Amino acid sequence: MSSASPRREQIKLDEPDTWPPELRDAAQEAAQHPDCQTNFTVDLRPPHDLSNRIMRVLSERGILVYQCARLLDSEIDDIRKHGLRAASEELLADKLARAQREGLLTAAQVQLIQITGALMDSDHRAARTNEIWALTVLETISVSEDGVEPLFAHWGGEITYFWQTHGNRAPALAATLQSLGAPALIEFALNPAESQHYSPELANIVIARWRNLDDCGGEVHFPVPPGARVPVLDVWLPDDPRWPTTTVGTADAL
């Protein structure tokens, strides 16, 4: 009986030195193409054959992605054991009930979040419900600090830190949300597929990382069936040696 082939680890887009040879070869060839000489990741235009080669490797091997969050200890334990949930009204209700049960939010604060959160707006609810958002490269944290810093600074993400905090219309509640939990990076794996929306395209990310472009940042949005959980590989906290040294706002968010 032949032995099972060893499991191939998912690709870390942040670490080109660890990429499999077929990805390195495609990235190097694409980086030399005339349409890939710009210094802006979104403007790279790799030819279709090279883009397809890159995507084939990524889809077969899978990639590591990271969700930015601020979480309670009990939430971290739950995610590690049971997986990551997509945004939904059920998730919001469970998060608020947990925080109130642990004595971290009052009934009045829970009600205020429920009636003013992002999910109460029909447009935002449609864009967020049963969707998961994650970073495709950790470099995004330093490239797009305005987009990720609030996710580390406010407990619960966009479904709890509502728009009133931006206008300083609920400063006491905003301060409470900033005091709960700790910044976290939730690491999980994806096999790129058509149902996932990458911005910019993953081929651009690969070429930009290979060329070490300063603006290389990216994200993915993808649908999750209602009630489903996405298995996670780990949850990183700021005292983890793997925590990005470029993470903005972490000191203030702790």
Model confidence at 4: pLDDT above 60: no
| Closest CA relative to residue 29, chosen from 4, 16, 47 | 47
pLDDT band at 168 (very low <50, low <70, confident <90, very high): low
Residue 5 has a pLDDT of: 42
Round to whole Å and give the CA distance between 110 and 221: 27
Angle between helices 202-211 and 48-61 (to 10 degrees): 100
| Closest CA relative to residue 75, chosen from 209, 191, 235, 252 | 235
Round to whole Å and give the CA distance between 225 and 43: 33
User: pLDDT tens for residues 25-55?
Assistant: 999 999 999 999 999 999 999 999 999 999 9
Return the DSSP state at 11: B
Model confidence at 170: pLDDT above 90: no
* CA 130 remoteness from chain centre: 15
Residue 3 has a pLDDT of: 43
How many C-alpha atoms does 205 have within 13 Å on its Cβ side?
Answer: 24
Residue 122 has a pLDDT of: 57
Round to whole Å and give the CA distance between 94 and 104: 14
How many C-alpha atoms does 148 have within 13 Å on its Cβ side?
Answer: 29
Residue 114 has a pLDDT of: 84
* CA 215 remoteness from chain centre: 17
Cα separations in angstroms, 81 against 76, 230, 232, 233: 9, 11, 9, 10
Residue 46 has a pLDDT of: 96
Residue 158 has a pLDDT of: 81
Residues of the chain with pLDDT > 90: what percent? 70
Model confidence at 250: pLDDT above 50: no
pLDDT band at 149 (very low <50, low <70, confident <90, very high): confident
Return the DSSP state at 192: -
Round to whole Å and give the CA distance between 67 and 186: 5
